[in-house]
Amino acid sequence: MKRFIDLRSDTVTQPSQEMRDAMHKAVVGDDIMGEDPTVRKLEIMSADITGKEDALFVTSGTMGNQIAVMALANRGEEVIVGDTSHIYNLEAGALAALSQVQTRAIEVPNGVYDIRKMEELIQADGIQNARTSLICIENTNNLNAGFVVPLENINAVCELAKENNIPVHLDGARIFNAAVASKTPVKEITRNVDTVMFALTKGLAAPFGAILAGNKDFIAKARWMKQRIGGGFRQAGFLAAPGIVALNAMSPQLEVDHKHAQILGHGLSKINKLKVDTSRIHTNIITGSVEDLPITIDNFLEKLLHMSIKAKKISNKSFRMVTHYGIEERDLHEVIKAVGDIIDEL
């Protein structure tokens, strides 16, 4: 089989041999009945890592986010979301379709929330108002960036929310990247949020699943919501087993991914007229633009594909590359050379 250097996302990772072995050997039971010991082990580990009372194993980050909203907000209420957030842009309109909530978006330049602007967006009870019932934040702040949100900024959001009796949900799909980049334990980042979701399938490289964590009452309600939307598992331990391996073994890989992103980003930034701002590489995501080059983004990516390199189009002029488990340093230099060759031909 032809090998591609696939930099479209860290979701394309393949499970390690240890994960595959864990799947094969997993002890399983009926999870809906609370009898799958491997699922429960993963949930307990996740609760401990995030500093929460309990956790729930779900199919995906989108499912985790949407269950959180369904459990914390009522129909017709308003949810504050980042304008670049996954929950707002990339979850198929689920906030409206599933929870039937209204969104109010706040700009998040460079991954930082403006507390004064957020305060202005909060709506109190009123005969004509959609009451603000939830604030959703994200770390890393993504939409093709992967910015690390400063801990003091997260805590300021939580303080504002507490003053207004509003819960805070953290989409932490890549929170382990944020923890590694900021040298801050995950539970310190999540200390003041009410609920948190993190993905097992991105930098952690597991083949399935995400985790939703919060207090026991919230998780009990979330478990019921999960069942309502068809997310109940039976013998799911073989799906949870690689997640346990991921939590135990994959954090060091994230440091490698971040180092690789710097190598790739700085290498691309030296190519004439290709725009790559290395100051924006906080974690494992690199973005670049061909706006100063006589080539369309589609043609650029097509040429890369012919050279066995996959990248993601994110606008009419720009692309994204994400480093992850399975990408070696030699691959980075191959990509840099390929991009340079394409541009030299122009």
Distance (Å, rounded) from C-alpha 243 to C-alpha 187?
Answer: 18
Assessment of whether the complete model's pTM goes beyond 0.85: yes
Instruction: Report the SS3 class of residue 175.
Output: helix
* Fold of the domain spanning 251-344: Aspartate Aminotransferase, domain 1 (3.90.1150)
Instruction: Express each pLDDT in 325-334 by its tens digit.
Output: 999 999 999 9
Query: What is the structure's pLDDT at 211?
Result: 99
Query: What is the structure's pLDDT at 144?
Result: 82
Instruction: Express each pLDDT in 104-117 by its tens digit.
Output: 999 999 999 999 99
- Is residue 308 pLDDT above 80, yes or no? yes
At residue 119, φ and ψ (nearest 5 deg) are -60, -40
Instruction: Express each pLDDT in 32-88 by its tens digit.
Output: 999 999 999 999 999 999 999 999 999 999 999 999 999 999 999 999 999 999 999
Domain ranges in the chain are: 17-249, 251-344
For helices 237-249 and 17-25, angle between their N-to-C axes, nearest 10 degrees: 140
- Is residue 143 pLDDT above 90, yes or no? no
Determine the average pLDDT of the residues in 273-300.
97
Strands (E), 71-214: 78-82, 102-106, 132-138, 168-171, 195-199, 210-214
- Is residue 310 pLDDT above 80, yes or no? yes
Instruction: Express each pLDDT in 225-271 by its tens digit.
Output: 999 999 999 999 999 999 999 999 999 999 999 999 999 999 999 99
- Evaluate the omega torsion of the peptide bond into residue 140 and state whether it is cis, within 30 degrees of 0: yes
Query: What is the structure's pLDDT at 166?
Result: 98
* Fold of the domain spanning 17-249: Aspartate Aminotransferase; domain 2 (3.40.640)
CB-CB contact of 203 with 257 (8 Å): yes
Determine the average pLDDT of the residues in 332-337.
98
- Is residue 142 pLDDT above 80, yes or no? no
- Is residue 2 pLDDT above 90, yes or no? no
Instruction: Express each pLDDT in 157-215 by its tens digit.
Output: 999 999 999 999 999 999 999 999 999 999 999 999 999 999 999 999 999 999 999 99
Query: What is the structure's pLDDT at 278?
Result: 97
Of 169, 262, 250, nearest in space to 202 by CA: 250
- Cβ-based neighbours of 188, under 8 Å, separated by 6 or more: 51, 151
Distance (Å, rounded) from C-alpha 250 to C-alpha 326?
Answer: 12
Instruction: Report the SS3 class of residue 190.
Output: coil
Instruction: Express each pLDDT in 203-216 by its tens digit.
Output: 999 999 999 999 99
At residue 253, φ and ψ (nearest 5 deg) are -65, -35
- Cβ-based neighbours of 69, under 8 Å, separated by 6 or more: 79, 87, 95, 98, 99, 101, 134, 136, 169
